[in-house]
Amino acid sequence: MNDGKLGFEDDLMLDVPAGGGRAVLQAISSHLAPCAQVPASLILDGLLAREALGSTGFGEGFALPHAFIPGLVTPAKVLVTLREPIEFNAPDDEPVDILLAVIWPHGQHEGFLQFLSKLCRVFRSKKLLAALRGVRSETEALNVLSAAVCTTSPSARSSVTASHGPLLR
């Protein structure tokens, strides 16, 4: 569907208690497993293996953990806000309190880097990150995300929504 909204209706985890990077990735894996129809342990292993290659910390308190997952049929993602920031080896040495985790079918690399690039363009906005830090409900978060997609260039918005409808609506 291409109606200009980010498709996060079922993909939000707000005010998650931290406890460290592994604990957050574990919570993400447990959240994604039921809809992804792959074991949480497989997702966690993929995310941890990717982090072992180098931090997916983006800067400004944002991280984009991602991994290719064997057995996954459809890409999935979840936006997470943390109750307190955690160390995540970000390039600016700032702790992370907002994560957007993306899992992608192993062996289906087409479109993956382009998709991550589009997400980075949206989430590099300091204004968006600040607004997400202030949300107290899923409704508020969805409003902030919808406003963010409206400020993204129409070509970026349409190309992502056209090729990855289940992820961005």
Place of tokens 């382009």: 114
Exposed / middle / buried, residue 4 (Cβ in 10 Å: 0-12, 13-18, 19+): middle
pLDDT at position 157 is: 40
pLDDT at position 140 is: 94
pLDDT in tens, the chain (169 residues): 233 334 666 689 999 998 899 999 999 999 999 999 999 999 999 999 999 999 999 999 999 999 999 999 999 999 999 999 999 999 999 999 999 999 999 999 888 999 898 888 899 999 999 999 999 999 999 999 888 877 654 444 433 333 444 443 3
pLDDT at position 18 is: 82
Report the alpha-carbon angle 164-167-168, nearest 5. 80
pLDDT at position 9 is: 60
Global pTM reads 0.84
Active-site choice (31, 66, 106, 164)? 66
Beta strands per DSSP E along the chain: 12-16, 57-59, 62-63, 66-69, 76-86, 96-105
- Can 66 be counted among the known catalytic residues? yes
**What gap in Å lies between CA 128 and CA 133, rounded to an integer?**
9
